[in-house]
Amino acid sequence: MKQTGYAYAYGAGTIINAISTWKGAAFGIDLKTEAEVVLTNDNKITGYIEEGGDTKLIERCVELTLLRFGSKSGARVSTKSQIPIASGLKSSSAAANASVLATLDALGEYLEPMEAIKIGVQAALDAKVTITGAFDDACASMLGGFVITDNKNRELIKREERASQVLILAPEKKVLSSGTNVLRSRLIGKWVEMAYREAVAGNYEKAMTLNGFLYCAALGFSTEPMMAALELGIEGVSLSGTGPAYTALGNPELLDKLQPVWERMGEKVIRTRINNDGGKACL
């Protein structure tokens, strides 16, 4: 047992938001959350988030991981992140995955990635920071690449790797996933199902753009950032999660044109890329 463990996981962008149908799709982005877990003898689990915020999720991740191996240790868990919080860029999934992996590292134990993901998903449900468990987001964060999932059955349907740059419009406003209007999201379910079928067929850009317009309408977000991207020839742009961030996929030349347009909207703009590697313990 090492006593101290370190790990990281990544944020993600939305292709299909799973709230409507329990079927989701997402892609890993190269923005990282790091976690440190120190095992203690006091039987208490305490958390610290460098950016501030509720520590229930990361504490529950550590607790469930310790229980998995019958450990009676206490722990201190801390995280720091490059991912804007409560923006739809899967900061909770990244924090959960990193905390689980860091606890495993501290224990000197190993779980298959899907088993580690499921611990974080259960912790997110227990901490009430998600509606569906965000299994799709957790898979994209932990595994990297593009993933398609059945969130109700916690099943990974498909994963593949692609290279692409990503542009993110990240408003300062925070939107908690747990506060989303589920009823309005369910009303668009049959159309979201059409977008999901496009994702399964590998038409990720088409799928995410359909998803974006549907959820902007259901949740009351502006479609102007999306229209600006489409006007420049970008085919993949969406509201990410339940907002307020938007993500766009495209070649560098098109994103070069979109970046100043989004910057003129007065919000933070982040340039990054698809992450295909996923989360890991820090060796």
CATH at 151: 3.30.230.120
Q: Which amino acid is present at 231?
A: E
What is the pLDDT of the chain when averaged over all its residues?
A: 94
pLDDT over 80 (residue 178): no
Residue whose entry in the numeric block shows the structure tokens 């495993």: 104
Question: Which of these, 82, 24, 32, 33, lies nearest to 58 by C-alpha position?
Answer: 33
Confidence (pLDDT) at 179: 58
Per residue in 208-240, pLDDT (tens digit) is 999 999 999 999 999 999 999 999 999 999 999
Beta strand segments in the chain, E = 4-16, 23-40, 45-49, 74-81, 146-150, 155-160, 165-170, 236-239, 246-250, 268-273, 280-281
- Give the total number of structural domains in the chain: 1
Domain residues for the domain of 37 are 1-283
At residue 265, the 3 state secondary structure works out as coil
Q: What is the pTM of this model?
A: 0.95
CA dihedral sign of residues 215, 217, 222, 226:
positive
